[in-house]
A and B are shown apart, each in its own frame.
Chain A
Amino acid sequence: MGPMLTCRDVEHFLLDYLEGRLGLAKRALFKAHLLMCDECVRYIERYEATIALGKAAFDDPDRDAADEVPEDLIDAIVDVQRSADP
């Protein structure tokens, strides 16, 4: 029997697979495993959704307004800078 990948192998190589670093042979083995393993397919779906959620978590239209630098902070920084660097 050929060198089939286990689920643990899939976990080990997942980042390499998603970032395109697996060689052709290993990539084929990886895909073959996914054809037969619903658990890994679901895991990778949730894993990829997690990445997207992480990226989107800070893209909040309501938060953008909050990222204006508060005036008191600007004043505080300028005060320190001026006293340090007359």
Chain B
Amino acid sequence: MDDSQLVARLRDKDDDAFVDLLRRHGPKLLAVARRLMRSEDDARDCFQESMLTVSSRIADFRGDSALSTWLHRIVVNTCLQKLRKASTRSEAFIDDLMPSFDDRDCRIGESSVPVPTPQVLLEQAETRRIVRAAIDDLPDAFRTVLVLRDIEGLSAAEVAELLEIERNLVNVRLHRARAALKKLLEPTVFGVGEVMPEGAAAKGGSK
């Protein structure tokens, strides 16, 4: 049975069709909710709410995109609504993680320690967990853009539309989110200490 048959059965209010939908498409969609939300409970709530929305709005699905795309969009929208309502870490947190420049606009504080390839870094068992935790540390406005662009693979235009912001702002937030994430990963994953301007003690540490 393909998706078009599934949609037809859903429209006919076939009871089993809804369960089939949950089993067939559920795993990927639950994974999306888990990536966007910070807690398992929130992810499950959003997944549940999304699936109920799907059930009540199946008549709106016109088949001009793939069913999976439509479902994905509903889950993302539901999660974003929930995130908007939640309190968020202040954006000052991001400012503290941005790169530093001296008064000649030269970059300072960047360690000259060679950078291992991602493949090598990912061989460490803890790396993925540390990266996920660091992503969770970012303020929602930045975390959401990073997750939607880099992890969910949406285009800047799609993210701009979903978040109702200018495309330019999507790009600015993405860049800052990545720069902040890099900084958060330096003491742990990249194994570099913070190189402070002279006079300040080094924090964090390469041990």
* Complex contacts, B56 vs chain A, CB 8 Å: 84-85
Pick the residue among A42, A52, A53 that contacts B111 (CB under 8 A): A42
Check if A54 sits within 8 Å of B151, measured CB to CB: yes
Chain B: CB-nearest residue to A47: B182
A11-B44 Cα distance, complex, nearest whole Å: 38
User: Which residues A16-50 have CB closer than 8 A to chain B?
Assistant: 37-40, 42-43, 45-47, 49-50
CB of A67 within 8 A of CB of B30, answer: yes
Stretch at the interface among B60-68, B71-79, B83-91, B97-105: B97-105
| B residues less than 8 Å from A68 (CB atoms) | 26-27
Q: Which residue of B lies closest to A81 (CB)?
A: B55
CA distance A85 to B10 in the complex (A): 12
Report yes or no: B18 in contact with A81, Cβ–Cβ below 8 A.
Answer: yes
| Residues of chain A with a CB closer than 8 A to B186's CB | 46
Instruction: Say what secondary structure dominates the interface of chain A.
Output: helix
Q: Taking CB as reference atom, which chain A residue is nearest B195?
A: A39
Residues in chain B near residue A45, CB distance under 8 A: 115
Residues of B within 8 A of A47 (CB): 178-179, 182
Q: Name the B residues within 8 Å of A81 (CB-CB).
A: 18, 51-52, 55
Of the residues A42, A73, A78, A82, contact of B110 by C-beta under 8 Å:
A42
Please, how many angstroms separate the alpha-carbon atoms of A42 and B186 in the complex?
A: 12
Q: Judge whether A53 and B127 touch: CB under 8 Å.
A: yes
Q: A7-B101, A49-B118, A73-B30 are in contact. List 6 more A-B contacts (CB 8 A).
A: A7-B107, A15-B171, A37-B107, A49-B117, A50-B185, A56-B128
| Interface, chain A (partner B; CB < 8 A) | 6-11, 14-15, 37-40, 42-43, 45-47, 49-60, 67-69, 73-74, 76-78, 80-82, 84-85
Q: List 28 A-B contacts (CB under 8 A).
A: A6-B105, A8-B105, A10-B107, A11-B101, A39-B110, A42-B113, A46-B110, A46-B115, A47-B178, A47-B182, A49-B117, A53-B127, A53-B189, A54-B131, A54-B135, A54-B146, A56-B131, A58-B31, A58-B132, A67-B34, A68-B27, A77-B48, A78-B22, A80-B48, A81-B51, A82-B15, A85-B55, A85-B56
**Partner-A contacts on B (CB < 8 A):** 13, 15, 18-19, 22-23, 26-28, 30-31, 34-35, 44, 47-48, 51-52, 55-56, 99, 101, 104-108, 110-113, 115-118, 121-122, 127-128, 131-132, 135, 146, 150-151, 171, 174-175, 178-179, 181-182, 185-186, 189-190
